[in-house]
Amino acid sequence: MEAVLALAIGILVASGLWLLFRPRTFQVVLGLSLLSYAVNLFILAAGRLRTDAPPIVDGKAVDAALYVDPVPQALVLTAIVISFATTALLLVVLLAARGLTGTDHVDGEDEEP
């Protein structure tokens, strides 16, 4: 499972970075989204990978080894919400820039007119 997750994160980061360096604003937004998915998976992996282990303790005194670390899952939740909001904001700025400059190039002007 580790290998699959590592590969998934690697592919997401690679495609995200490639898109991030593209000249069109929409590609940049997609790149940032892919990167944020990769980082979310990475945070989840930081809490060690376990299958069939619940993150919430049900009140009784129990063996901690039966449960998965809940902190990274809470962190991922926060990170998802924040990256969702910032992506939405970036999309608005993208549209404004498109409207004002008349091009979707990240620098606001095309190299070749």
Partner 1 sequence: MSAAPAWLQHLPVLLVVLPIVASALLLAVAERRRRLKRAISLVTAVTMVAVAGLLVLSCDGQLGGGTGGPQVYRLADWPAPFGIVLVADRLSAMMVLLTDLLGVTALVYALARWDRSGPRFHALFLLLLAGINGAFLTGDIFNLFVFFEVLLAASYGLILHGSGEERTRASLHYITINIATSLLFLAGVAMIYSVTGSLNMADIAVKTPQVARGDLMLLEAGAAVLGVAFLVKSGIWPLNFWLPRTYAAAAPPVAAVFAIMTKVGVYIILRLTSLLFGEGSGAAVGFADHALVLLGFATMLFGTLGILATRQLTRVAGHYVLVSSGTLIAAIGLGGQALVAALLFYLVSSTLAVGALYLLIEPVERNADEEDLIAGIAEPVFDDEYVGAVSEEADEVGIIIPGTIAVLGGAFIFCTLLLAGLPPLSGFIAKFAIISALFDQDAISPSAWTLAGLIILSGLATLVAMTRAGIDLLWTPGEDAPARLSVIEVVPIGLLLGVCLSLMVAAGPLYRYVETTAGGLGAPRAYIEAVLGSRGGAPR
- The residues of the shown chain that bind partner 1, judged by CB under 8 A, are 20, 25, 28, 32, 35-36, 39, 42-43, 45-48, 71-72, 75, 78-79, 82-83, 85-87, 89-90, 93-94, 96-97, 100-101, 106-108
Q: Which of 53, 101 has the CB closer to partner 1?
A: 101
**Nearest distance from residue 16's CB to partner 1, in Å?**
9
In angstroms, how far is CA 68 from the centroid of its own chain? 22
Cα(12)–Cα(112) distance, integer angstroms? 31
**Nearest distance from residue 43's CB to partner 1, in Å?**
4
Cα(2)–Cα(76) distance, integer angstroms? 18
Cα(97)–Cα(94) distance, integer angstroms? 5
Tokens matching residue 106 = 């990240």
Q: How far is CA 65 from CA 50, 73, 75, 82, 97, in A?
A: 10, 17, 20, 31, 52
Q: Which of 7, 95 has the CB closer to partner 1?
A: 95
**Nearest distance from residue 69's CB to partner 1, in Å?**
8
**Nearest distance from residue 92's CB to partner 1, in Å?**
9
